[in-house]
Structure 1
Amino acid sequence: MTAFMDQDFLLTTDVARKLYHEVAADLPVIDYHSHLQQGEIAERKTFRNIAELWLGGDHYKWRLMRTAGVPEEYCTGDRSDKEKFLAFCKVLPLAIGNPIYHWSHLELRRIFGIDLVINEKNAEAIWEQANAKLAGMDTWTFLEQAKVEIACTTDDPADDLLQHAEIAQSALKTRVLPAYRPDKAMRINNPGFEQYVARLSDVAGVKIDSFTSLIAALANRVEYFHARGGRISDHAIDIPLPTVAATADQLDGLFAKRMRGELLGDLEQAQYLRGLLEAIGGVYAKYDWTMCFHIGAMRNNNQRMLETLGPDTGFDSISDMTTSNGLVALLSALDSRKQLPKTMLFNLNPAMNEVLSTMIGNFQDGSVAGKVQFGPAWWFNDHKLGNLNQILAFGNHSVLGIFVGMVTDSRSFASYPRHDYFRRLVCRQLGEWVASGEYPEDYDALATIVRGICYENAKNYFKL
């Protein structure tokens, strides 16, 4: 019987074990999409205890705890940090098969060197040992300990990025770069849109009185980000895009309608979003950026809890919306004008694996390996089966050796062991192919693939 999460965890063949231990394990990390806060890095934030590190803001764990019957007061409420931590440890053993079970143990071992099983019996000992280690750690410690070479944050176009400048001038070994996420400009019906436009106008120095001038302001901020190391944008596509683009006059009309205080209908929102993505995509191409689309989230579904706790608190799920026709139309329109930037497609609905892994082949042009990429398993897909299925779909329909690999997509500085989890699964799958006679036992070729997926491809693709 295999020991619980031993050194060969998830590695099912001799080839997998050799590839992981000799090639993948010690490679640096390029985390090209995360939600780490630049301010917490700049100020070298410390954590008062493991509960703040693990449970503060982690909607994955809150969701698990609620599902296991833990009252909200132990998740986001006013119970003490220790009470919250003990509640988590008590229910985690019930979550067999959940990636949080594996991630938590990997974090405990790799960050703190604690080999205890997380349960109610060991909770007190874990609390004491982890907190003793945390007393000498800060955000820099987590980045450098995990060998994070590059970490990209997620930043609004109107952000001044001044703390990024502080970080760049500091002694931190990790390069921390901004990534451009214009959600507030995209979500035209959200409350405060008019106020956001006014702020963006001031920051960009562009009078925004039309859709055209909105794009000019966003382009101005792309240039600003580019000068400060930004090379990646990120966009949430949570509604189906139309197959037919709105005209310039129609887009100006939609923008004017919203600025008058009127809300747009569903089709009008989709037309506006398609127009914005098409326009800003051309800007990204000019700067040789990568445009990332995160597709298929159904967000903030519990209205009562949204009003109580706010967004991003664990009440999201997978959408089964149909996006393929509108997405292809958008990519094709950009391609026809030779303005399609490098693009990554992340899907939340696993039923779209084959849709997107075949779609990327439509827009390769030989200018760069994998110009259009099928992104790694994301959010509700980021588990053992989800990662393996993404790898299989990529391999079945594309060239797996050019895949740019894993991201944390996380707000937690403790989440970097997820890269280790992913690397073990990559090596596992390659080893399975060799063991079944589907690929030769050519370690040079296999090592090239592993180094590429786990590190080198991202470095080359994003030009970081």
Structure 2
Amino acid sequence: MSLKPFITENFLLQSEVAQVLYHDYAKDLPIIDYHNHLSPKDIAEELPVNNITKAWLQGDHYKWRGMRANGIEEKYITGASTSEKEKFLKWAETVPYTLRNPLFHWTHLELKAYFGINELLSPKTANGIYEKANAILENKTPAQLLEDMKVEVVCTTDDPTDNLTYHKQIAENDNISTKVLPTFRADALFFINKDNFLSYLQNLEASANLKITTLNDFLSVLDTRIEFFNNHGCRLSDFGVGEALTMVDYNEAEVSKIFTKKLNGSNLSDNEVNKYRSFLFIYLGKKYHEYDWIQQYHLGPIRNNNSLLLDQVGLDAGVDSIGDFPMAEFMSKLFDTLNATNQLAKTITYNLNPSQNEVFATMMGNFQNSDAPGKMQWGSGWWFLDQKDGMEKQLNTLSNMGLLSRFVGMLTDSRSFLSFPRHDYFRRILCNLLAEDVNNGLVPNDIEFLGKMVQDICYNNAVNYFKF
């Protein structure tokens, strides 16, 4: 029995049909990455990346979790006292133990795509790989890494108070070919029950140069910030609070009183918080529709589970996981309320709990209409589901419950400029999945027809949907 080599040009492509679909139709398409957490500052400053540890391990929760599971001391993961090379060597020590975890695939796809490295990363190869990668990165800026991967558009994740200075610098820089656009990430606006909400309002006031003393002032500031983002090329909003969400009945007068109560320093009841949030969901949803933005909802994580690491490392320590919150009633009431007045924007939802795949897929189908093909999108496998099994289940469920052919495809949701082979990973999985159906006689053996479908999902649908 002959063994198949690893990460070849036909990686994941298990038949001739899959290989034709990938190589002839998917492989060379540009990338539209409509949701990520890349740093616009790093892109704008055009400084060489220099070190693979910073580019690869800094802020990468997936790798951090893998290293912790392998028993690596925290000082080699997030510690300030250890060197970049020491951290890299500890990651190299961990990689062989990630076999069958998506980290194993991603690691070697990235080494191959960016550095031409075909060796497996291990303690034996670590020093050579570290030196070779750093030699390449000392001459590469983040913008050049994006260009190398044919990335046409990236949409970063930005707080409503952001001055978007770096986005403006990028837009005015003719040397940067990738379009870098902001996304209006509204999470902090909903945390009215948090101790730091009033200090956040002060930042919001400063960003708009307006004072907030009433609910109407608050809404005027939001209007100003949304217009500001829109003028800087924003096409998407996002929301991703990790907790149970409830839509309740309210009227604006009582929400105004609730807001004033908070401004006066009083604590709010759960019911008051839910009334405020319900009002804000609808208000923002209508504004997104007015500006023809796409609204995104990332739903389902339970965050900051490990309080010891949270205290030690801070937020985004890599101690979040899948929650089991009910989501159907929240989505139904939110979308129905907006839809009833014809103010439901194009919408993408992402679930973190795979048991809710069919819940999300069927909910989006309730609100499709002639505004746009695939107006209501159930997004690609997100976070812990962003791997081969998760992607295949998402693609299969979407095929059964909706129209796969109208899907807007993959995104990285990443903080790393080395993560774009995830698009290639998705394209290979998609082509192989369709080829399996051809080989099993479940779909016609019409390569031209299927090839167009592949190109649409990987690129064309996103072009037409987002209209960047």
TM-score, normalised via structure 1 length: 0.97
**1:9 paired residue number:** 11
2:56 is aligned with what amino acid?
A: W
Asked whether the 8 Å contact 1:68–1:91 carries over to 2, the reply is: yes
**2:74 paired residue number:** 72
1:16 is aligned with what amino acid?
A: A
CA offset at residue 243 of structure 1? 4.1
2:361 is aligned with what amino acid?
A: S
**1:83 paired residue number:** 86
**1:455 paired residue number:** 459
Q: Which of residues 225, 230, 235 in structure 1 aligns to 2:229?
A: 225
Q: Which runs of 5+ in 1 are unaligned?
A: none
Cα separation, 2, equivalents of 1:429 and 1:210: 54
Number of aligned residue pairs: give it: 464
Aligned with 1:294: secondary structure? strand
CA offset at residue 184 of structure 1? 1.7
Asked whether the 8 Å contact 1:215–1:280 carries over to 2, the reply is: no
1:359 is aligned with what amino acid?
A: M
Cα separation, 2, equivalents of 1:206 and 1:335: 32
Taking a change above 3 Å as real, the CA distance of residues 134 and 347 of structure 1, as seen in their structure-2 partners, is same
RMSD, matched Cα = 1.3
Asked whether the 8 Å contact 2:187–2:241 carries over to 1, the reply is: no
**1:165 paired residue number:** 168
* Deviations 1:28-60 (CA, angstroms, capped at 9, x unpaired): 000001111111110013233211111111121
**1:136 paired residue number:** 139
Taking a change above 3 Å as real, the CA distance of residues 199 and 237 of structure 1, as seen in their structure-2 partners, is closer
* Deviations 1:89-122 (CA, angstroms, capped at 9, x unpaired): 1111111111111111011000011111011111
Taking a change above 3 Å as real, the CA distance of residues 49 and 203 of structure 1, as seen in their structure-2 partners, is closer
2:59 is aligned with what amino acid?
A: G
Asked whether the 8 Å contact 1:238–1:298 carries over to 2, the reply is: yes
CA offset at residue 202 of structure 1? 3.1
Q: Which of residues 150, 153, 156 in structure 1 aligns to 2:156?
A: 153
**1:411 paired residue number:** 415
Aligned with 1:176: secondary structure? strand
Q: Between the two proteins, what is the percent identity of the paired residues?
A: 44
**1:298 paired residue number:** 302
**1:36 paired residue number:** 38
* Deviations 1:197-237 (CA, angstroms, capped at 9, x unpaired): 12212322443223343233212211111111111000014
2:172 is aligned with what amino acid?
A: Q
Cα separation, 2, equivalents of 1:338 and 1:211: 25
Cα separation, 1, equivalents of 2:214 and 2:127: 59
Aligned with 2:183: secondary structure? coil
Cα separation, 2, equivalents of 1:262 and 1:309: 31
Taking a change above 3 Å as real, the CA distance of residues 336 and 206 of structure 1, as seen in their structure-2 partners, is farther
2:103 is aligned with what amino acid?
A: I
Q: Which of residues 235, 242, 245 in structure 1 aligns to 2:239?
A: 235
Q: Which of residues 54, 57, 70 in structure 1 aligns to 2:56?
A: 54
1:389 is aligned with what amino acid?
A: K
Cα separation, 1, equivalents of 2:198 and 2:438: 57
Aligned with 2:200: secondary structure? helix
Asked whether the 8 Å contact 1:33–1:408 carries over to 2, the reply is: yes
1:46 is aligned with what amino acid?
A: P
Asked whether the 8 Å contact 2:146–2:178 carries over to 1, the reply is: yes
Cα separation, 2, equivalents of 1:85 and 1:368: 47
Cα separation, 1, equivalents of 2:267 and 2:462: 40
2:404 is aligned with what amino acid?
A: L
Cα separation, 2, equivalents of 1:404 and 1:198: 38
CA offset at residue 447 of structure 1? 1.2
Cα separation, 1, equivalents of 2:255 and 2:391: 39
Cα separation, 1, equivalents of 2:249 and 2:224: 24
TM-score, normalised via structure 2 length: 0.96
> Is 1:189 aligned with 2:193?
yes
**1:96 paired residue number:** 99
> Is 1:107 aligned with 2:117?
no
CA offset at residue 189 of structure 1? 2.6
Asked whether the 8 Å contact 1:239–1:270 carries over to 2, the reply is: no
Asked whether the 8 Å contact 1:241–1:327 carries over to 2, the reply is: no
Asked whether the 8 Å contact 2:50–2:135 carries over to 1, the reply is: no
1:32 is aligned with what amino acid?
A: Y
Asked whether the 8 Å contact 1:54–1:412 carries over to 2, the reply is: yes
CA offset at residue 138 of structure 1? 1.2
Q: How does 1:384-423 map to 2 (within 5 A)?
A: 384-423=388-427
Cα separation, 1, equivalents of 2:420 and 2:271: 40
Aligned with 1:363: secondary structure? coil
Cα separation, 2, equivalents of 1:297 and 1:417: 25
